[in-house]
Structure 1
Amino acid sequence: MDLTATRIRAAAAAVLVLGLALTGCAGQAGGGGGAEDDTLKIGAIYLDTQGFYAGVKKGVELGAEEAGKKVEFVETNAAADASKESAFIDTLISSQVDAILLSAVSADASAPALRNASNADIPVVCYNTCINEADAEEYVKAYAFGDPVEFGYKTGEAAADYFEANAVADPRIAVLNCEFVEVCVDRREGFEKALTDRGIAYEIVANQEGTDPTESIGVAENILTANPDIDAFYGESGGAAIGAVKAVENKGLAGTTVVFGSDMTADLANALVDNTILKASIDVSGIAVGKAAIAAAIAILDGESQEYSVPVPIDVYTTPEQGTEWLETHPDGIP
């Protein structure tokens, strides 16, 4: 028997079988899951460096583990840059990931990249922020979020409670915003609606972008210099809220100017425990959002029915005791 010829024929047969197997994998949605080990490859894009997104990262990892799935995450931080986000989505498409999770940088500028992912049969799940409604209906399979109008409304209710309890008539309010994303516009609209519904005759004396935890301090200090009689800040994000708190401290206005914030981090929880400046922070847990997003992606990849809207609970923190409890239940500081 010609053993060399036999081995050549066996090797050729093996290559043919392997080629057929690879062709089958390429036909799957995204094509990234390993047929042999059932590992899913999922792209995850975080909007910026705020603590909330550390919570999302932890949530998606925990959610995959709890679902009994082996997942390889391919991750980046978009740094609130639509061009960086788009370039990474192109990389994910080339890598044939099975799904993409993202907090979109822009309602409109992020849409073309998600269209490309959809055209490549890669399911997209938004969390926290997403693209405009018309494009989302076409290119996005699910959206995990806490309703931003309700979120802002709850903050406004907490502010109204404070103004009424402390007899603050006609409060002058400054806003540190993150309104480059639509959800933050919605948050402010909810905040103002709550004040109006409660009959608070407020005035917004400044509304400036300041969501980076460091840069927002200088923005808030400049607002206080121009408007030293401000009664309160509304921070539309966690970075905005802690920036406002630190600016009030730096200006020696603790006990005079207060802050109503968004999101919860260890810094904000400690500020709430002190309760001199920060009077409330409204939060959607990053961990809960991450778990909801990965659960939706897994359901889609498993061929299960998945609703587009995936609601995530909104939590209200207004007392030092609640700040202490948050710190005790989040010993690693991840929200």
Structure 2
Amino acid sequence: MTTIARGRRRTVSALVALLAATLALAGCGTRIGEGGRFGVVYMDAQGYYAGVRKGMQDEAAEAGRSIQLLELNAQGDASRESTFVDTVSSAKVDALVLSPVSETASIPAIRLAHRSGVPVICYNTCIAEEAAQEYVTAFILGDPVEFGRLLGDAAADHFLAEGITAPKIGVVNCEQVEVCVQRRLGFEEALFAKVPDAEIVANQQGSTIDEAVNVAERILTAHPDLDAFFGQAGGATLGAIRAVQARNKVGQTVVFGGDMSTEAANALVDHSILKGNVDISGIAVGRMAAETAQRVLAGDEPEEFVLPAPIELYTTPEDGQEWLENHPDGLP
């Protein structure tokens, strides 16, 4: 076994031991989560998930409930996610709230939670539809097609205002998850409806900022006359912005992207590169997740499977400034 593998195994073992000890303590009369104990999985470390955490805590606090969140940043690792879900399922948490790493690889863990009697609530992403209908109680989702459509419409309006009738666009994607595929379909539908001669000249994966910078720079090298990037999520958007800056394309190549953050809001205030950003607030989703989990805990399951999360479009420097004022802690 390699040193990395041994280190990873020790990390997971320590996590399992910590969770087991915490849950045993809670089960012996010192119940920390009087309002419920929820296992929560964040897909990665992007700021959106910090917003989800804050939203869950805020909703519980305002409702006068004390909840316990047993949390994991899965770091995009389905096996790490599975180990955590197995532990909290065995401990009989009141609900599992998660953004699954994979539509398919996450199914066994979610099936185990369901069969252990733990209600499962997806947010942002979920498992394949047939399995979700069987094992998941509710799915909190900002419509990804509408997400993309809002950006495509804003991009089309920008090109028309600039007199660009056949823009060349590079996509920096997160299409390892289905919602990002749907975002692209919505973007293309709205864009081509208004600017039929637009062309998607590249579509490459770059989910994290570092990956996205490299991908966007390669696209700019291959297409030096690129008019715009579409960043499908936060890391892709910020990476595209940084690549435009690094390649001295400010004033030529603009960015339309997803997921607000302090950096994105400041870029929108500057408005030289970022021209539009669509956001599904992590805080709003976290509030919905806590409220839904509490309802399920009380025996009041939602009638609808998909619970729509609000979607916001930001296109002006004033929009960016307002976001900064409303989010002084930087959490989206």
- Name the TM-score, length of structure 2 as normaliser: 0.89
Indicate yes or no: 2:331 matched with 1:334: yes
1:49-128 matches, within 5 Å, as 49-128=45-124
Helix, strand or coil: the match of 2:110?
helix
- Equivalent residue number for residue 5 of structure 2: none
Indicate yes or no: 2:236 matched with 1:246: no
1:247-266 matches, within 5 Å, as 247-266=243-262
Aligned equivalents of 1:280, 1:104: Cα separation in 2 = 28
Q: Would you say the 8 A contact 1:50–1:213 is kept in 2?
A: no
Aligned equivalents of 1:270, 1:331: Cα separation in 2 = 12
Helix, strand or coil: the match of 2:257?
strand
After superposing the two structures, state which structure 1 stretch, 278-287 or 61-70, moved more. 61-70
Distance 1:227 1:33, change over 3 A: farther
Shift of residue 259, structure 1, vs aligned partner: 0.2
Helix, strand or coil: the match of 2:122?
strand
Q: Would you say the 8 A contact 2:43–2:101 is kept in 1?
A: yes
Helix, strand or coil: the match of 1:214?
helix
1:107-139: CA deviation from partner (whole Å, max 9, x where unpaired): 111111111100000000000111111111110
Among 220, 223, 228, which residue is 2:216 paired with?
220
After superposing the two structures, state which structure 1 stretch, 127-136 or 215-224, moved more. 215-224
- Equivalent residue number for residue 159 of structure 1: 155
Matched to 1:311, the amino acid is P
Shift of residue 104, structure 1, vs aligned partner: 1.1
- Tell me the C-alpha RMSD between the 2 structures: 1.4
After superposing the two structures, state which structure 1 stretch, 198-207 or 274-283, moved more. 198-207
Q: Would you say the 8 A contact 1:144–1:310 is kept in 2?
A: yes
Matched to 1:324, the amino acid is Q
Q: Would you say the 8 A contact 2:42–2:73 is kept in 1?
A: yes
Matched to 1:175, the amino acid is V
Aligned equivalents of 1:34, 1:159: Cα separation in 2 = 57
Among 126, 143, 150, which residue is 2:146 paired with?
150
Shift of residue 204, structure 1, vs aligned partner: 1.1
Shift of residue 95, structure 1, vs aligned partner: 2.4
Q: What stretches of structure 1 of length at least 5 have no aligned partner?
A: 1-31
Shift of residue 36, structure 1, vs aligned partner: 7.4
After superposing the two structures, state which structure 1 stretch, 171-180 or 75-84, moved more. 75-84
Q: Would you say the 8 A contact 1:33–1:97 is kept in 2?
A: no
Q: What stretches of structure 2 of length at least 5 have no aligned partner?
A: 1-25
- Equivalent residue number for residue 271 of structure 1: 267
Shift of residue 33, structure 1, vs aligned partner: 7.4
The percentage of counterpart residues that share the same residue type is: 53
Indicate yes or no: 2:290 matched with 1:294: yes
Structure 1 stretches of 4+ moved >6 Å: 32-36
**Larger Rg over CA atoms:** 1
Indicate yes or no: 2:38 matched with 1:42: yes
1:132-189: CA deviation from partner (whole Å, max 9, x where unpaired): 1111111000111110000000010000010110011211111110011100000000
Matched to 1:246, the amino acid is R
- Equivalent residue number for residue 129 of structure 1: 125
- Equivalent residue number for residue 187 of structure 1: 183
- Equivalent residue number for residue 203 of structure 2: 207
Shift of residue 39, structure 1, vs aligned partner: 4.5
Matched to 1:65, the amino acid is A
- Name the TM-score, length of structure 1 as normaliser: 0.88
Helix, strand or coil: the match of 1:304?
coil
Aligned equivalents of 1:33, 1:196: Cα separation in 2 = 57
Distance 1:34 1:267, change over 3 A: farther
Aligned equivalents of 1:125, 1:33: Cα separation in 2 = 23
Shift of residue 214, structure 1, vs aligned partner: 2.3
